[in-house]
Amino acid sequence: MAHRIIISGGGTGGHIFPAIAIANALKNIAPDTEILFVGANGKMEMERVPAAGYEIIGLDIAGINRQSPLKNIGLPFKMIKSLWKARRVLKEFKAEAAIGVGGYASGPLLMMANMMGLPTIIQEQNSYAGVTNKKLGAKARKICVAYEGMDRFFPSERVLLTGNPIRKSSVSIEGKREEAMHAFGLDASKPTLLVTGGSLGALTLNDSIKAGIPALVAAGVQVIWQCGSYYYEKLQAEFGEQLPDSIKLMPFLERMDYAYAAADVIVARAGAGTISELCVIAKPVVLVPSPNVADDHQTKNANALVVKGAALMVRDVEAREGLVPAVLELFQDTEKQADLREQIGKLALPDADVVIAQEVLNLIK
């Protein structure tokens, strides 16, 4: 008999990519499994999930607006409406289990699944659990985590260290360095830095690299600089024809595998999905956590690596002056690079999607 499973959540690529990876793994293990996604109307999952070949239903749910408290007046009504819709969806789809990956929609969907006595599974991506997941975790059958020590948030007997599901195509870098260098128009004999602020880009990283270009060029370091589509045109206009050939500025990276393969050192934000990919590719990393996230969880994610000697960290407020000097110092220290590669590689959990999917199927059985 075909299993029927609902996956809920989204809001960012960091929630959507793992959700789709789990769905794909379920389909690989049990091809007749029927999967339905539940997202938040107006959020990126409503486009990304159908593009990946899955059906999605939207809930009218939103997060707390901290900038404009008046906009929160309607939230209790949205929550009640979303809970009723979640109940209807769970009944009509005849769901046997529900998986929550984080994001607005996973709250009401998993709450209602718990009320109805259905087995629920949480996929907690960060090293610091958010308020909603902590509440949902009290009744979840399994909490799949990416970091050790998560039993401080959840019942220890139900916590399973699986890692975060990652995009396999992004981390498949073996033997691709030469073609990657050719694709970017770079010199394979020169040290290469990859700077990535995620699909939206990161202002701090952009400002830091902009300020550090003379020093990077003087040190002979070439740069793959993914600045984000939001910042690309402004940066292009600022540089005009003045950008050195060794600095490759681009809005986003279609081939993340090429970017990872070409890089000797990587500068990145500390989102959970990014860190999971970085552990698998095992290259020296300097993390600059975003301060604009709930519970400052990116700093906590980064610290989890720093304490193990698996990454370096530069705080966002110090990055404009301190990031490029820290990167250049790392390029000079080949011993430190080797140590970072070894330690971050030990944290790799490349098969999280399969482990989580199998756990879901075991729970249903």
**Residue 58 labelled as part of a binding site:** no
**Residue 12 labelled as part of a binding site:** yes
Alpha-carbon distance values, 265 to 3, 56, 83, 228, 272 (Å): 44, 38, 46, 19, 19
**Residue 271 labelled as part of a binding site:** no
Per DSSP (E only), the strands in 197-277 are 222-226, 247-250, 265-268
Whole-angstrom Cα distance, residue 15 to residue 318? 28
**Residue 24 labelled as part of a binding site:** no
**Residue 133 labelled as part of a binding site:** no
DSSP tag of 263: -
How many beta carbons lie within 10 A of that of residue 209, not counting itself? Answer: 25
Q: Which residues contact 341 (CB under 8 A, 6 or more apart)?
A: 282, 283, 284
DSSP tag of 3: -
Half-sphere exposure of 173 (CA within 13 A, CB side): 23
**Residue 9 labelled as part of a binding site:** no
How many beta carbons lie within 10 A of that of residue 22, not counting itself? Answer: 27
**Residue 132 labelled as part of a binding site:** no
Residue 220: phi and psi, rounded to 5, are 75, 25
- Residues at the annotated binding site for UDP-N-acetyl-alpha-D-glucosamine? 12-14, 126, 167, 199, 298
- Residues at the annotated binding site? 12-14, 126, 167, 199, 298
